[in-house]
Amino acid sequence: MYVGACFSLWRKNMFVDRAKIEIASGKGGNGAVSFRREPFVPEGGPDGGDGGKGGDIIIKADKNLRTLMDFKYKRKYEAENGQDGMRKKRFGKDGKDLIIKVPKGTVVIDCDSGKIMKDLLEDGDFIVAAKGGRGGKGNTHFKNSVRQAPNFAEAGTAAKERTVILELKMIADVGLVGFPNVGKSSLLAVSTSAKPRIENYHFTTIDPNLGVVKLHDTAFVMADIAGIIEGAHRGLGLGLKFLKHIERTKVLIHVVDVAGSEGRNPIEDFDKINNELNQYSKAVAKKPMIVAANKIDLIDEKGEEYKAFKEYVEGKGYKVFPMSAPINYGVSEILNEALSELKKVEELPPEEPEAEYFDFELDDRDPEYKNVEVSMADGAYVVTGKQLKKIFDSTNFNDFGSLRYLYKYMEKKGAIDKMIEMGMKEGDTIRVFGYEFEYYDEY
């Protein structure tokens, strides 16, 4: 009993097809505040170098991986920060990118919006899921005819943090669908070198199984899409866990227990599974489908039961093939038909994806980045903004030139005029990220 429990737990965790992780790119390095100090160099000016760029988070498909198991144990990934700038105009070193490897067929989804960032179909496909922060400018950039010795520099841009969902969808040419225990695993076993677990009870297959069918001078990948029952599109049983794997298949083989050995009606079974596919996705329901009437050896192939089933299914526009997978009866005919349908599909132009894609590049650009907001709190005028925060972090509060640079930025963005419209007078308090100073007309 104990050994069986351990085995079940091991099998359950063997195939992981969904994971949520937190990623953070590297922060940009700060620009340096530095001045030339060489002997015999009169009036040495600023020579602070720029900060380095923060490392990117890159998610990349790797053909050598099969599951998302690694992400069950590690959930947070951070790239290296950029190095701060140095004196003598030396730039800081860029932070090292972090490459996260995932299996082929992994879909990267932005957790907040629920939209797809990228579908990594082929080996080597990648996405820059979080861009590293830009390095800040050294004080050499802030020298002008009036400000000869700027005692401040620019802070590096903050890291980009994001929660993403990794969802693995198997890449198979042909998918086997049907109720549990109708013979899908048996068909996969006799058609390929795969060795799925086969027993006479429901949900023997608790992980998707793949196998390669070698036929004539070609080959294709076939997958056992298990766990589909009535209500699967609503998440009942193991439905949603497996239904997503059908999306990539090009042809479906619908396996039906035509003998009704489970006490169910074959025609009703056929309609129920097709209804689940249609409820889950119209695109999936439109895929070419072949019907395998399995367990034909348990009834009379020329009898009324099979004849009624065949007429009903063919009346819906599907081809029916009698089959008994364990004794390899009718299997080659089904596989040849699947290959024929595959060739037809491959000649068609690719379909447009149904999913809505997330414009993460627009998100990174952040159209509100330069906006400045003004409000009142506890008698003070509160000024906030994302770019303002960066300039605030760059401010040397012991240097009047640096403070004036901060003030001029707020003035340029219209914040000062807006506060005056709100009734601000000389001596009133302006609060910027916790730092307070008094307003004077000739600041």
pLDDT at 22 over 90: yes
| Shared-domain flag, residues 135 and 216 | no
The pLDDT, as a whole number, for residue 208 is 63
pLDDT at 59 over 90: yes
| Shared-domain flag, residues 311 and 423 | no
Over the range 389-426, which residues count as b (16 or more CB within 10 Å of their CB) and which as e? ebbbebbbeeeeebbebbbebbeebebbebbeeeebee
DSSP conformation letters of 366-406: -TTTT--EEEEETTEEEEE-HHHHHHHHT--TT-HHHHHHH
Under the banding of pLDDT at 50, 70 and 90, the label for residue 262 is: confident
With respect to residue 359, please indicate whether it lies within any of the assigned structural domains: no
| Shared-domain flag, residues 290 and 259 | yes
**Mean pLDDT of the region 332-347:** 92
Higher-pLDDT residue of 286, 57: 57
What is the side-by-side strand order in the sheet with 251-257?
209-215, 218-224, 174-177, 251-257, 289-294, 319-322
- What is the CATH number for 426? 3.30.300.350
| Shared-domain flag, residues 225 and 267 | yes
Q: Which of 294-303, 341-350, 360-369 has the lowest mean pLDDT?
A: 360-369
Determine the Cα–Cα distance for residues 88 and 254; give it in Å rounded to an integer. 72
Among residues 355, 327, 348, 339, which one has the least CA distance to residue 113? 355
With respect to residue 337, please indicate whether it lies within any of the assigned structural domains: yes
Phi, psi angles (nearest 5°) of residue 10: -65, -45
Q: Which of 97-111, 300-314, 388-402 has the lowest mean pLDDT?
A: 388-402
| Shared-domain flag, residues 178 and 318 | yes
| Shared-domain flag, residues 224 and 155 | no
pLDDT at 11 over 50: no
Q: Is 62 within 8 Å of 37 (Cβ atoms)? A: no
With respect to residue 7, please indicate whether it lies within any of the assigned structural domains: no
Under the banding of pLDDT at 50, 70 and 90, the label for residue 224 is: confident
What is the side-by-side strand order in the sheet with 126-130?
98-103, 57-62, 126-130
**Mean pLDDT of the region 293-317:** 92
Q: How many CB atoms lie within 10 A of CB 265?
A: 11
With respect to residue 1, please indicate whether it lies within any of the assigned structural domains: no
Radius of gyration of the chain (CA): 32
pTM: predicted TM-score of the whole model, two decimal places? 0.67
| Shared-domain flag, residues 371 and 332 | no
| Shared-domain flag, residues 197 and 310 | yes
With respect to residue 354, please indicate whether it lies within any of the assigned structural domains: no
The pLDDT, as a whole number, for residue 18 is 81
**Mean pLDDT of the region 227-234:** 48
Q: What's the domain range around 298?
A: 174-346
**Mean pLDDT of the region 259-274:** 89
User: Cα 117 vs. chain centroid, distance in angstroms?
Assistant: 6
End residue of a domain, out of 152, 168, 184: 168
Average pLDDT across the chain, whole number: 82
Assigned token pair, 296: 């034909």
Higher-pLDDT residue of 133, 44: 133
Assigned token pair, 142: 């802030």
| Shared-domain flag, residues 157 and 179 | no
| Shared-domain flag, residues 325 and 185 | yes
| Shared-domain flag, residues 108 and 196 | no
Assigned token pair, 78: 């951070």
With respect to residue 352, please indicate whether it lies within any of the assigned structural domains: no
Pairing verdict, β 209-215 and 161-168: unpaired
Pairing verdict, β 289-294 and 319-322: parallel
- What is the CATH number for 76? 2.70.210.12
| Shared-domain flag, residues 277 and 398 | no
Assigned token pair, 309: 């089933």
Q: Is 269 within 8 Å of 180 (Cβ atoms)? A: no
- What is the CATH number for 305? 3.40.50.300
- Dump pLDDT digits (tens) for 372-427: 999 999 889 999 988 888 888 888 888 887 888 888 889 899 999 999 999 999 88
pLDDT at 10 over 70: no
With a CB cutoff of 8 Å and minimum separation 6, the contacts of 198 are 185, 186, 189, 204
Determine the Cα–Cα distance for residues 188 and 175; give it in Å rounded to an integer. 10
pLDDT at 147 over 90: no
pLDDT at 204 over 60: no
End residue of a domain, out of 121, 153, 168: 168
With respect to residue 239, please indicate whether it lies within any of the assigned structural domains: yes
With respect to residue 443, please indicate whether it lies within any of the assigned structural domains: no
With a CB cutoff of 8 Å and minimum separation 6, the contacts of 389 are 433
SS3 198: coil
What total number of domains does the chain contain? 3
402: left (phi over 0), alpha (psi -120 to 50) or beta: alpha
- Dump pLDDT digits (tens) for 281-304: 788 888 999 999 999 999 988 889
- Dump pLDDT digits (tens) for 74-98: 999 999 999 999 988 899 999 999 9
Under the banding of pLDDT at 50, 70 and 90, the label for residue 45 is: confident
Bridge partner list, 213: 220
Q: CA quadruple 133, 139, 143, 147: dihedral positive or negative?
A: positive
End residue of a domain, out of 109, 133, 168: 168
The pLDDT, as a whole number, for residue 53 is 95
